Amino acid sequence: MTTAIYPGSFDPITHGHTGIIISGLRCFDRVIVAVLNNEQKKPLFSVEERIEMIGEALPEIGADMSRVELDSFDGLLVDYAKRRGAGVILRGLRAVADFEYELQMANMNRHLNEEVETVFIMANDAYFYVASNLVKEVTRLGGDVSSLVPPSVDRRLRAKLGV
């Protein structure tokens, strides 16, 4: 049985992320969506809120929740993967701009533990431009992101940002 970790900040989860999770479930037996617990990144949503939003969003889009686990982690990702018995780190790629950062992380993670493979899945082209930071900024400025994020995320974003 192959378990993949899908790590990220998910602040908040977008349809870019949900697409990667659905694709990941086609490739792997189990996907652990692992929310980075890092206050230094000054997240808008707490880890608990981010996990709740992921938990609400995935059933809405028909993800097979019997093969999905939601968790949080801190410290090194490869150590977390080892603890969880996962041999794969799953990451999504959008445009070329993602590539350099992702290559750097994948190689660093391989340096730290060569038994953990990083596997990339291309984001759906409909969501190539979608990023959590942009979604937050656009909502804050009164723009409509309702087609780019799950409904519960849209609601919570507007409540959190008071718009």
- To the query of whether residue 82 is one of the catalytic residues in this protein, the response is no
- To the query of whether residue 156 is one of the catalytic residues in this protein, the response is no
Number of Cβ within 10 Å of residue 85's Cβ equals: 11
- To the query of whether residue 91 is one of the catalytic residues in this protein, the response is no
Q: How far is CA 15 from CA 1, 31, 146, 150, in A?
A: 27, 17, 10, 7
What number of chain residues touch ligand PNS (CB under 6 A)?
A: 9
- Residue 61 binds ligand PNS (CB under 6 A): no
Q: Which is nearer to ligand PNS, 61 or 76 (CB)?
A: 76
- Residue 9 binds ligand PNS (CB under 6 A): yes
- Residue 70 binds ligand PNS (CB under 6 A): no
In angstroms, the CA 95 to CA 101 distance is 11
Number of Cβ within 10 Å of residue 139's Cβ equals: 23
Which amino acid type is present at position 28? Answer: F
DSSP code, position 116? S
Collapsing DSSP to helix, strand or coil, 147 comes out as coil
Q: Which is nearer to ligand PNS, 45 or 162 (CB)?
A: 45
- Residue 118 binds ligand PNS (CB under 6 A): no
CB-based closest residue to ligand PNS: 8
Contact pick of 5, 77, 88, 116 for ligand PNS (by CB under 6 A): 77
DSSP code, position 40? G
Catalytic residues: 17, 41, 94, 132
Q: Which residues form the interface with ligand PNS (CB under 6 A)?
A: 7-9, 36, 76-77, 105, 108-109
